[in-house]
Structure formats: C-alpha cells, structure tokens
Amino acid sequence: MPTLDLSVSSVDLTRTICDIPSVSGDEGTLADAIFATVSPLDHLDVYRDGDTIVARTNLGRAQRAVVAGHIDTVPINGNVPTKDITLDGEPFLCGRGTVDMKAGVAVQLKLAAELVAPRVDVTWMWYDHEEVDADLNGLTRLARTRPDLFAGDFAILGEPSNGEVEGGCNGNLRAMVRTTGVRAHSARAWIGENAIHKAAPILGRLADYRPRDVEVEGLVYREGLNAVRIGGGVAGNVIPDLCEVEVNYRFAPSRDVAEAERHVRDVFAGFDVEIVDAAAGARPGLDAPLAQEFLRAVGAEPRPKYGWTDVARFSALGVPAVNYGPGDPHLAHHDDERVAIAQIEAVERGLRAWLTTS
C-alpha cells in the first residue's frame, strides 16, 4: 500500500496523491493510504464509511468547521504520473487530479495532521465517487448513515476556484422535452408526421431565451437554459415518430427545485416535459460569523459559483458552505490539467490562517 508523508510540503503531497490512481470506483488504494495515515493521529477521531474518511477534532470549541474534498478523479488519459512544467515563468504541477481536486485534498491532509489545536473544532472529510452519479457519492451515503458528522457552523469544499472564494452554487435541472409523430416510409412522407420537424419550436424557444442574472445575498449568479442533446429517428428511410430534446437548466439559488421545474414547464408549455434530474443550489451563507472570519483571514472577495457542487449538500443540512481550492476550474477534467504551485501554497496559507488566528 502506498504511504503518505504528511510532513512534506503540500506541493509534494499533491504529487504523491495524484500519482496514486483513484478514478471513480477505484478509490480504495488512496482511501486506504489516507486512513492508515490519519488514524494514528491522537488529536483526531477517525471514521471510515466505504472509501470515505472522516477525521474530527473534539476540543470542545464553541464552533465547528467542516472542510471536505473528494478523492476520485475522472479517467486518466496519459496524464499520470504528474510532471512539473513552467509556463510564462510560473511553475505548475501537471497531471490528472492536480486541479480536480487532489491539490485541495493535499492541503487539507497536511493541515489536518499539523493543526493539533485549531481555534475551532474541525471535521475533515475525504470522500469517494464525486465524479459519477449522485446516488454513488460518498457524501450522499454519509448523510444517510451518519448525518451527525455534517454538523457545523460553516463548511468549505476544496473544489478548484483559482484560490478564490466562490459562495454557494447554482441549482441544476435536466428535462426531456418530447414531440411525437407517426411513422411512415420516407418516400411517402405525407402519410406520416415527422416528430423531428415538430421539435423546431423547442429549439426556437431556446434560441430566443434570455437567461437571468440574479443577485443573491450580494453575489450575482448567471443562469442558463440550453439544449445539450437531441435524439430521434429509427432508420434512414423512416419518418420518425419521436424526438427528444434534453435541456439543462442552471438556476440561481434564489429558486428551489419546484420553482425551477415550473419555470421549465412554462418555457415549454404545450410540449411533453419530463424532469429527469434536479438538484437544488446553495445560497452563499456568507453572513455567518465564521464565514466572515474566513473571508477576512484569506483576504478574499467572494464570487458566485456558477456550476453545481457538493456545497449544496451542506446547505441542505443547514450548514452554509463555500468553494475554496487551488486550480483553475476551466482545466478540470482537461488532458492538460495543471495547477499553479503558488495557488496550492496560497490556499494552504489561507486555511491555516483562518484555523489558527483568533
């Protein structure tokens, strides 16, 4: 089993854990290494659920923070082991997981080992299956079996944010908008009804749609409604009797799922609409006292998170949460995934200052 040396720099630790493959569904080796490394630490109570590891201080502090990061990655594509590169004079660490989000996990592991007496109690969570279906997500499982472990006054998810603070997140909804017709031989098309042609108004409504910019607690979230897939037809000489347009709606956290669903149904009034997946967003929650202290400690000006992240899971449990981690989110899952070494070091400094400075 690979071993983790938590006394090395967070940059070196990033190299180590990135070089341990942990594609979703194959996190066991890295989870074993994390569990074996943090279990002997006397200041932490350690709990394991599958390939999710939770380590907690229990110092009787008045407040508790939760700091979480996922240990899985999307599939490797010739980008492991990691390598050091320089771009425009700036050093980067390049390889799968460097951005999403093992650099953040490395920072968390190092601080979990070193901060024996943080000023607030801390729950560290390293979880599996973030990059795949939500029902497999380690946090989904943990929230069902041990919801008490999520208790806290404020949470930080180490998703890549360029070392900036991104508050809350947009909600996410997927819908299938369908048209139906009548099959016929394409040589006698007038006998049938072409379901694909009937979908033209759906695309027209999408083309004419103007998404909202919505201010929520001082942050402006940008919404979006887009076709992401279209399908129909059974053969090259058959008039299709079914067409499905898959639509993705990213909605501001001022709306709940029910409101988002009503909006989508209103946009496509007159069509058959099936909601196939939906997840609520998360309000920023930056008015929480511990959140304000965090912003001051890291010297950050908060921004909105346009994508959906697991901060929504904490928000649903009543814990305000933000995204804060090294790495450019535009490079997540990219074959040239790379993180600036300076960002890893900056995020470590920011979290350390927040957890140690009263």
Q: Would you please indicate which residues are annotated as catalytic (active-site) residues?
A: 72, 130
Q: Which helix (H) or strand (E) holds 293?
A: helix 289-298
Query: Which among 20, 156, 118, 98 has a CA at the least distance from the CA of 335?
Result: 98
Compute the residue count for the chain: 358
- How many whole angstroms separate alpha carbon 67 and alpha carbon 152? 10
Query: Is the CB of residue 157 less than 8 Å from the CB of residue 69?
Result: yes
Angle at 7 between CA 5 and CA 11, to 5 degrees: 85
Query: Which among 285, 288, 299, 284 has a CA at the least distance from the CA of 357?
Result: 299
Is the backbone of residue 297 left (phi > 0), alpha (psi -120 to 50) or beta?
alpha
Query: Is the CB of residue 333 less than 8 Å from the CB of residue 109?
Result: no
